[in-house]
Protein backbone atom coordinates (compact mmCIF):
# COMPACT_ATOMS: atom_id res chain seq x y z
CA UNK A 1 0.00 0.00 0.00
CA UNK A 2 1.29 3.41 -0.90
CA UNK A 3 0.95 5.90 1.92
CA UNK A 4 1.37 9.51 0.99
CA UNK A 5 2.80 11.58 3.76
CA UNK A 6 3.28 15.30 3.79
CA UNK A 7 5.89 14.91 6.51
CA UNK A 8 8.61 13.72 4.16
CA UNK A 9 7.78 16.29 1.52
CA UNK A 10 8.30 13.72 -1.23
CA UNK A 11 4.85 14.10 -2.67
CA UNK A 12 4.18 17.79 -2.69
CA UNK A 13 1.20 19.12 -4.66
CA UNK A 14 1.94 20.14 -8.21
CA UNK A 15 2.51 23.83 -8.64
CA UNK A 16 -0.60 23.80 -10.86
CA UNK A 17 -2.72 23.02 -7.80
CA UNK A 18 -1.69 26.24 -6.11
CA UNK A 19 -3.60 29.43 -6.71
CA UNK A 20 -1.46 31.36 -9.18
CA UNK A 21 0.00 34.61 -8.01
CA UNK A 22 -1.92 36.69 -10.56
CA UNK A 23 -5.18 35.26 -9.36
CA UNK A 24 -4.76 35.87 -5.67
CA UNK A 25 -3.12 39.17 -6.30
CA UNK A 26 -6.03 40.22 -8.44
CA UNK A 27 -8.34 39.31 -5.54
CA UNK A 28 -6.24 41.30 -3.12
CA UNK A 29 -6.04 44.24 -5.46
CA UNK A 30 -9.79 44.15 -5.86
CA UNK A 31 -10.36 44.24 -2.12
CA UNK A 32 -7.76 46.95 -1.66
CA UNK A 33 -9.31 48.99 -4.43
CA UNK A 34 -12.73 48.79 -2.80
CA UNK A 35 -11.23 50.16 0.38
CA UNK A 36 -9.16 52.82 -1.28
CA UNK A 37 -12.01 54.00 -3.45
CA UNK A 38 -13.89 55.11 -0.38
CA UNK A 39 -11.09 57.43 0.64
CA UNK A 40 -8.92 58.57 -2.20
CA UNK A 41 -10.91 57.83 -5.32
CA UNK A 42 -10.06 54.93 -7.53
CA UNK A 43 -8.59 57.04 -10.32
CA UNK A 44 -5.77 58.17 -8.08
CA UNK A 45 -5.31 54.61 -6.88
CA UNK A 46 -4.93 53.34 -10.44
CA UNK A 47 -2.27 55.93 -11.15
CA UNK A 48 -0.33 55.07 -8.04
CA UNK A 49 -0.49 51.38 -8.83
CA UNK A 50 0.74 51.85 -12.36
CA UNK A 51 3.69 53.72 -11.00
CA UNK A 52 4.46 51.10 -8.36
CA UNK A 53 4.50 48.29 -10.90
CA UNK A 54 6.34 50.17 -13.63
CA UNK A 55 9.66 48.84 -12.34
CA UNK A 56 8.37 45.29 -12.32
CA UNK A 57 8.95 44.68 -16.09
CA UNK A 58 7.63 41.38 -17.42
CA UNK A 59 8.43 38.89 -14.68
CA UNK A 60 9.95 35.58 -15.72
CA UNK A 61 8.12 32.57 -14.32
CA UNK A 62 9.92 29.81 -12.48
CA UNK A 63 8.50 26.31 -12.27
CA UNK A 64 8.92 24.79 -8.84
CA UNK A 65 7.35 22.05 -6.77
CA UNK A 66 5.83 23.13 -3.49
CA UNK A 67 7.47 21.66 -0.42
CA UNK A 68 4.72 21.73 2.21
CA UNK A 69 6.83 19.86 4.76
CA UNK A 70 9.17 22.83 4.95
CA UNK A 71 6.52 25.53 4.47
CA UNK A 72 4.32 27.47 6.82
CA UNK A 73 0.61 27.71 6.11
CA UNK A 74 0.36 31.23 7.53
CA UNK A 75 -1.09 33.87 5.17
CA UNK A 76 1.52 35.08 2.70
CA UNK A 77 2.60 38.67 2.67
CA UNK A 78 1.30 40.59 -0.35
CA UNK A 79 3.75 40.51 -3.28
CA UNK A 80 3.66 44.30 -3.41
CA UNK A 81 4.76 44.52 0.23
CA UNK A 82 7.47 41.87 0.02
CA UNK A 83 8.95 43.54 -3.05
CA UNK A 84 8.32 47.17 -2.07
CA UNK A 85 9.54 47.24 1.51
CA UNK A 86 12.90 45.77 2.42
CA UNK A 87 16.48 46.52 3.31
CA UNK A 88 19.16 46.32 0.63
CA UNK A 89 21.59 49.09 1.50
CA UNK A 90 23.40 48.82 -1.81
CA UNK A 91 20.34 50.59 -3.21
CA UNK A 92 19.62 53.08 -0.43
CA UNK A 93 18.84 53.27 3.26
CA UNK A 94 15.05 53.62 3.17
CA UNK A 95 12.96 50.51 2.80
CA UNK A 96 11.33 51.88 -0.33
CA UNK A 97 14.71 52.59 -1.96
CA UNK A 98 15.58 49.10 -3.23
CA UNK A 99 12.33 48.87 -5.22
CA UNK A 100 12.98 52.31 -6.62
CA UNK A 101 16.69 51.99 -7.43
CA UNK A 102 17.47 48.33 -8.08
CA UNK A 103 16.48 48.46 -11.77
CA UNK A 104 20.12 49.38 -12.51
CA UNK A 105 21.31 45.95 -11.33
CA UNK A 106 22.51 43.76 -14.25
CA UNK A 107 21.62 40.18 -13.35
CA UNK A 108 22.82 38.65 -16.63
CA UNK A 109 25.45 37.51 -17.28
CA UNK A 110 26.09 36.53 -13.66
CA UNK A 111 28.74 34.23 -12.32
CA UNK A 112 29.19 32.93 -8.80
CA UNK A 113 32.71 32.00 -7.85
CA UNK A 114 33.05 29.16 -5.36
CA UNK A 115 36.42 29.10 -3.67
CA UNK A 116 38.41 28.36 -0.57
CA UNK A 117 38.46 25.07 1.27
CA UNK A 118 36.78 22.95 -1.42
CA UNK A 119 38.05 20.10 -3.56
CA UNK A 120 36.24 21.42 -6.60
CA UNK A 121 36.42 25.21 -6.74
CA UNK A 122 34.37 26.48 -9.66
CA UNK A 123 32.71 29.38 -11.36
CA UNK A 124 29.04 28.76 -12.06
CA UNK A 125 26.87 30.95 -14.27
CA UNK A 126 23.39 31.64 -13.05
CA UNK A 127 21.74 29.10 -15.38
CA UNK A 128 23.95 26.21 -14.28
CA UNK A 129 23.46 27.22 -10.67
CA UNK A 130 19.67 27.29 -11.09
CA UNK A 131 19.73 23.82 -12.70
CA UNK A 132 22.00 22.22 -10.12
CA UNK A 133 19.06 20.76 -8.16
CA UNK A 134 15.26 20.65 -8.59
CA UNK A 135 13.60 23.91 -7.60
CA UNK A 136 11.19 23.88 -4.69
CA UNK A 137 8.77 26.46 -3.40
CA UNK A 138 9.09 27.00 0.33
CA UNK A 139 6.97 29.41 2.30
CA UNK A 140 9.13 30.79 5.10
CA UNK A 141 8.67 33.33 7.84
CA UNK A 142 11.11 36.22 7.53
CA UNK A 143 11.98 38.13 10.69
CA UNK A 144 13.91 41.38 10.32
CA UNK A 145 16.18 42.41 13.18
CA UNK A 146 14.27 45.71 13.20
CA UNK A 147 11.16 43.99 14.55
CA UNK A 148 8.95 43.38 11.53
CA UNK A 149 8.17 40.14 9.75
CA UNK A 150 6.71 38.72 6.55
CA UNK A 151 5.73 35.34 5.09
CA UNK A 152 7.32 34.77 1.69
CA UNK A 153 7.13 31.91 -0.83
CA UNK A 154 10.73 31.50 -2.00
CA UNK A 155 11.93 29.38 -4.90
CA UNK A 156 15.23 27.53 -4.66
CA UNK A 157 16.84 24.42 -3.29
CA UNK A 158 18.69 23.47 -0.12
CA UNK A 159 22.10 25.09 -0.08
CA UNK A 160 23.47 21.67 0.96
CA UNK A 161 23.05 20.52 -2.68
CA UNK A 162 25.59 23.08 -3.82
CA UNK A 163 27.90 22.45 -0.89
CA UNK A 164 28.01 18.71 -1.59
CA UNK A 165 28.61 19.47 -5.26
CA UNK A 166 31.84 21.38 -4.57
CA UNK A 167 33.08 18.97 -1.85
CA UNK A 168 34.38 20.99 1.11
CA UNK A 169 37.75 19.87 2.47
CA UNK A 170 38.22 18.77 6.07
CA UNK A 171 39.38 22.29 6.88
CA UNK A 172 36.13 23.98 5.87
CA UNK A 173 34.26 25.16 8.96
CA UNK A 174 32.48 28.28 7.70
CA UNK A 175 30.86 29.52 4.51
CA UNK A 176 31.18 33.14 3.52
CA UNK A 177 28.83 34.89 1.06
CA UNK A 178 29.86 38.07 -0.72
CA UNK A 179 27.36 40.42 -2.35
CA UNK A 180 28.17 42.28 -5.56
CA UNK A 181 29.67 45.72 -4.92
CA UNK A 182 29.60 47.73 -8.13
CA UNK A 183 29.28 51.48 -7.83
CA UNK A 184 27.93 51.75 -11.35
CA UNK A 185 24.97 49.50 -10.56
CA UNK A 186 24.50 50.20 -6.88
CA UNK A 187 24.01 53.84 -5.91
CA UNK A 188 23.94 52.97 -2.21
CA UNK A 189 27.65 52.12 -2.18
CA UNK A 190 28.38 55.85 -2.05
CA UNK A 191 27.25 55.87 1.56
CA UNK A 192 29.75 54.85 4.19
CA UNK A 193 27.21 53.03 6.30
CA UNK A 194 28.93 49.66 5.89
CA UNK A 195 32.27 48.43 4.61
CA UNK A 196 31.51 47.19 1.12
CA UNK A 197 31.21 44.57 -0.19
CA UNK A 198 28.51 43.16 2.04
CA UNK A 199 29.73 39.90 3.51
CA UNK A 200 27.70 37.38 5.47
CA UNK A 201 28.54 33.95 6.76
CA UNK A 202 27.31 30.74 8.34
CA UNK A 203 28.93 27.88 10.14
CA UNK A 204 29.22 24.93 7.72
CA UNK A 205 26.71 22.82 9.67
CA UNK A 206 24.23 25.72 9.62
CA UNK A 207 24.69 26.08 5.88
CA UNK A 208 24.15 22.31 5.47
CA UNK A 209 20.80 22.41 7.30
CA UNK A 210 17.98 21.55 4.86
CA UNK A 211 16.16 24.81 5.74
CA UNK A 212 19.03 26.97 4.45
CA UNK A 213 17.83 27.80 0.96
CA UNK A 214 19.82 28.84 -2.07
CA UNK A 215 17.20 31.09 -3.59
CA UNK A 216 16.59 32.20 -7.18
CA UNK A 217 12.93 33.18 -7.05
CA UNK A 218 9.90 34.22 -5.03
CA UNK A 219 6.13 34.13 -5.66
CA UNK A 220 6.69 31.76 -8.57
CA UNK A 221 8.96 34.06 -10.54
CA UNK A 222 12.63 34.95 -10.72
CA UNK A 223 13.83 37.16 -7.87
CA UNK A 224 13.07 40.83 -8.43
CA UNK A 225 16.31 42.85 -8.37
CA UNK A 226 15.43 44.54 -5.08
CA UNK A 227 15.10 41.19 -3.34
CA UNK A 228 18.61 40.02 -4.16
CA UNK A 229 18.54 38.86 -7.78
CA UNK A 230 19.72 36.70 -9.35
CA UNK A 231 20.77 34.50 -6.43
CA UNK A 232 20.70 34.85 -2.65
CA UNK A 233 20.43 32.70 0.41
CA UNK A 234 17.49 32.56 2.80
CA UNK A 235 18.18 31.36 6.34
CA UNK A 236 14.75 31.54 7.95
CA UNK A 237 15.74 30.99 11.58
CA UNK A 238 18.10 33.97 11.58
CA UNK A 239 17.43 37.71 11.30
CA UNK A 240 17.00 38.76 7.69
CA UNK A 241 20.36 40.50 7.32
CA UNK A 242 22.12 37.12 7.65
CA UNK A 243 20.66 36.12 4.28
CA UNK A 244 23.08 37.62 1.76
CA UNK A 245 21.63 38.93 -1.51
CA UNK A 246 22.97 39.16 -5.08
CA UNK A 247 25.82 36.77 -4.31
CA UNK A 248 28.97 36.76 -6.46
CA UNK A 249 31.27 34.68 -4.27
CA UNK A 250 30.87 31.75 -1.90
CA UNK A 251 34.03 30.96 0.00
CA UNK A 252 34.69 28.09 2.41
CA UNK A 253 36.98 29.02 5.28
CA UNK A 254 38.64 27.65 8.39
CA UNK A 255 38.00 30.80 10.40
CA UNK A 256 34.83 32.68 11.17
CA UNK A 257 34.30 35.24 8.39
CA UNK A 258 34.26 38.93 9.15
CA UNK A 259 30.61 39.78 8.47
CA UNK A 260 29.28 43.23 7.60
CA UNK A 261 26.91 44.12 10.45
CA UNK A 262 28.88 42.28 13.09
CA UNK A 263 31.95 44.20 11.99
CA UNK A 264 30.09 47.53 12.01
CA UNK A 265 28.39 47.16 15.42
CA UNK A 266 29.51 43.99 17.26
CA UNK A 267 27.53 44.80 20.41
CA UNK A 268 24.29 45.03 18.42
CA UNK A 269 24.62 42.35 15.74
CA UNK A 270 26.18 39.02 16.61
CA UNK A 271 27.70 36.59 14.13
CA UNK A 272 24.96 34.05 14.82
CA UNK A 273 21.98 36.43 14.96
CA UNK A 274 19.51 33.62 15.46
CA UNK A 275 16.00 34.94 16.01
CA UNK A 276 15.70 34.91 19.78
CA UNK A 277 12.90 36.64 21.70
CA UNK A 278 14.95 36.44 24.91
CA UNK A 279 17.93 38.41 23.63
CA UNK A 280 17.01 42.04 23.05
CA UNK A 281 18.70 44.36 20.68
CA UNK A 282 20.35 47.06 22.84
CA UNK A 283 17.81 49.60 21.69
CA UNK A 284 14.63 47.60 21.30
CA UNK A 285 12.96 44.41 22.40
CA UNK A 286 13.02 41.33 20.20
CA UNK A 287 10.17 39.69 22.13
CA UNK A 288 7.51 40.79 19.67
CA UNK A 289 7.22 41.57 15.99
CA UNK A 290 4.89 43.33 13.61
CA UNK A 291 3.72 41.14 10.76
CA UNK A 292 3.57 43.47 7.78
CA UNK A 293 0.03 43.95 6.54
CA UNK A 294 -1.48 42.34 9.64
CA UNK A 295 -0.35 43.71 13.00
CA UNK A 296 -0.25 47.14 14.52
CA UNK A 297 -3.27 49.33 13.97
CA UNK A 298 -5.96 47.04 15.26
CA UNK A 299 -4.01 44.01 16.36
CA UNK A 300 -1.31 43.79 18.96
CA UNK A 301 2.16 42.88 17.75
CA UNK A 302 2.72 39.10 17.86
CA UNK A 303 5.20 37.17 19.97
CA UNK A 304 8.45 36.34 18.27
CA UNK A 305 9.24 32.62 18.33
CA UNK A 306 12.58 31.07 19.25
CA UNK A 307 14.53 30.40 16.04
CA UNK A 308 11.66 32.17 14.29
CA UNK A 309 9.49 29.11 14.87
CA UNK A 310 12.00 26.60 13.42
CA UNK A 311 12.83 24.48 16.50
CA UNK A 312 14.42 21.82 14.28
CA UNK A 313 17.59 23.91 14.12
CA UNK A 314 18.03 23.94 17.92
CA UNK A 315 20.38 20.94 17.85
CA UNK A 316 22.91 23.04 15.89
CA UNK A 317 23.39 25.11 19.02
CA UNK A 318 23.28 22.40 21.68
CA UNK A 319 25.39 23.40 24.65
CA UNK A 320 25.95 26.97 23.43
CA UNK A 321 25.05 29.98 25.54
CA UNK A 322 22.86 31.85 23.08
CA UNK A 323 22.94 35.00 25.20
CA UNK A 324 26.68 35.09 24.70
CA UNK A 325 26.68 33.86 21.11
CA UNK A 326 23.74 36.03 20.08
Partner 1 sequence: MAFNPTPKQVSLIKGAVFVAALLPFLWGALQVFGGELVEPLEYITHETGDWALYLLCITLAITPVRRLTGWNWLVKLRRMLGLYTFFYALLHFIAFFWFDHFFDLAAMLRDVAKRPFILVGFTAFVLLIPLAATSTNGMIKRLGGKRWQWLHKLIYVIAPLAVLHFWWMKAAKNNLAQPALFAAIVIVLLGLRFYWSRAKTRTAARA
Q: In what order do the strands lie in the sheet with 111-116?
A: 122-125, 111-116, 247-253, 174-179, 199-203
Site string for partner 1, 119-158 (x = CB under 8 A): -----------------------------x----------
Among 32, 69, 132, 248, binds partner 1 (CB under 8 A): 32
Strands (E), the chain: 65-66, 111-116, 122-125, 136-143, 148-158, 174-179, 199-203, 213-218, 221-222, 232-234, 247-253, 288-291, 302-303
Is 63 a binding residue for partner 1 by CB under 8 A? The answer is: no
Stretch that binds partner 1, among 112-120, 158-166, 189-197, 209-217 (CB under 8 A): 189-197
Q: How far is the CB of 262 from partner 1 (least distance, A)?
A: 13
Residue 44 binds to partner 1 (criterion: CB under 8 A): yes
What is the rounded CA–CA span in Å between residue 29 and residue 294? Answer: 16
What's the CA gap between 9 and 70, in Å, rounded?
8
241 binds partner 1 (CB under 8 A): no
Which one of 292, 304, 307, 313 is in contact with partner 1 (CB under 8 A)?
292
DSSP state of 267: T
Q: How far is the CB of 65 from partner 1 (least distance, A)?
A: 30
Q: Which is nearer to partner 1, 63 or 284 (CB)?
A: 284
Q: Please report, for residues 80, 100, 127, the alpha-carbon distance to residue 108 in angstroms, rounded to integers and kept in the order given.
A: 24, 20, 10
Q: Catalog residues that contact partner 1 under the rule CB under 8 A.
A: 32, 35-36, 39-40, 44-45, 48, 52, 80-81, 84-85, 93, 95-96, 148, 191-194, 264-265, 268, 280-285, 290, 292-293, 296-297, 300-301
Amino acid sequence: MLIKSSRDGLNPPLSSEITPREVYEERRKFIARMAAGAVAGSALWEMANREAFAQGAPAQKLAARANPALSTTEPRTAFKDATGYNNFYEFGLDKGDPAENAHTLQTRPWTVSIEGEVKKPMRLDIDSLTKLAPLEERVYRLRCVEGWSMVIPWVGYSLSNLIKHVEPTGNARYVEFTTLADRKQMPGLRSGVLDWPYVEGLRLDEAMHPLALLTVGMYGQVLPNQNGAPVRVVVPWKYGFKSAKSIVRIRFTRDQPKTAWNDSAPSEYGFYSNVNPKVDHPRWSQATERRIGEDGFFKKKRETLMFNGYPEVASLYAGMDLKKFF
